[in-house]
């Protein structure tokens, strides 16, 4: 999953920080990073793009700089990922013109809605722009504390291989998480809680933990709030969300829960398609 990253850049500080994050991901099995720009006013001779490409080379990773002139960046990113056989798209959640912290740009959402590959979406505070390399070096390891949200739909089973790959890549701690929705069930519905607990334990049993500490966690209430609250409680370094299934991404539009989680999270997200 991490082997070959396509990193779209628009030369905003946030997109350049995503390249810096990618430069530290050899520990997870990254072998090659493709830096991709679809801006009509830059070329491979652009000093900033060349510097980003050289940074990946300094990290000891295979690297390639790809520039194109495209009017619709989301489609261009997806096409480039496919034609260059990327295994993951890694991008900043926002780009130029960001007026407040943690806003998610239309290009990012467009890629998430249509991607057949996992998408790593990272968010960076504005102050990080002062010294991107120092900020990224201080960030905790991406797979240190992973929160995996599971809705227990049939589609959630397709996430299993990806969850296992996170473990194989070196995840240290993982929390398998489900919200029992207060709009459908009562807090006193012990039968439902036991049923969910059994299903979550069965899901866990299908994983080979290796050196990863895996826990099962249940919350009761509204889905979006509790996912974000759980991420805060465990101080998650990565939030994993499926892109289909109940309450998740559907077709060309975002389900309300998924959109709220993606926009509301201050944590890096990994969006897994089915």
Higher-confidence residue of 208 and 181: namely: 208
- H or E element: which one contains 2? none
What confidence tens digit (pLDDT) does each residue in 126-165 have? 777 777 777 877 889 999 999 999 988 877 888 999 999 9
From the number of C-beta atoms within 10 Å of its C-beta (0-12, 13-18, 19+), residue 151 rates as: buried
For helices 106-114 and 256-264, angle between their N-to-C axes, nearest 10 degrees: 130
Alpha-carbon Rg for the chain, nearest whole angstrom, is 19
Higher-confidence residue of 236 and 250: namely: 236
Span(s) in the chain for CATH 3.40.50.620 = 4-138, 145-269
Of all residues in the chain, the percent with pLDDT exceeding 90 is 58
Gap between the Cα atoms of 274 and 265, Å rounded: 22
* Interval 85-99 mean pLDDT: 77
Is pTM beyond 0.75? Reply is yes
Tell me which CATH homologous superfamily contains domain 145-269: HUPs (3.40.50.620)
pLDDT averaged over the chain?
87
The domain defined by 4-138 carries CATH number 3.40.50.620: yes
């Amino acid at each position: 999953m991490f082997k070959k990253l396509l990193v779209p850049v628009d030369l905003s500080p946030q997109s350049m920080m995503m390249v810096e994050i990618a430069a530290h991901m050899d520990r997870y099995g990254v072998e090659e990073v493709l830096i991709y720009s679809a801006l009509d006013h830059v070329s491979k001779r652009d000093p900033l793009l060349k510097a980003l490409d050289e940074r990946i080379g300094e990290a000891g990773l295979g690297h390639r700089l790809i520039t194109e002139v495209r009017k619709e960046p989301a489609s261009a990113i997806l096409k480039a990922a496919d034609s260059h056989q990327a295994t993951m798209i890694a991008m900043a959640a926002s780009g130029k013109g960001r007026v407040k912290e943690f806003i998610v740009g239309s290009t990012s959402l467009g890629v998430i809605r249509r991607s057949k590959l996992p998408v790593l979406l990272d968010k960076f505070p504005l102050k990080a722009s002062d010294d991107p390399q120092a900020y990224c070096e201080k960030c905790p390891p991406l797979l240190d504390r992973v929160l995996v949200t599971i809705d227990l739909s049939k589609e959630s089973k397709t996430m299993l291989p990806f969850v296992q790959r996170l473990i194989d890549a070196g995840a240290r701690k993982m929390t398998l998480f489900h919200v029992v929705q207060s709009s459908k069930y009562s807090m006193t519905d012990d039968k439902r809680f036991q049923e969910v607990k059994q299903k979550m334990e069965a899901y866990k049993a299908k994983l080979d933990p290796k050196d990863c500490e895996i826990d099962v966690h249940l919350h009761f209430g509204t889905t979006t709030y509790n996912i974000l609250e759980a991420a805060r409680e465990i101080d998650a370094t990565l939030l994993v969300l499926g892109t289909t299934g109940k309450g998740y991404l559907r077709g060309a539009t975002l389900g309300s829960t998924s959109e709220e989680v993606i926009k509301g999270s201050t944590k890096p997200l990994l969006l897994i398609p089915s």
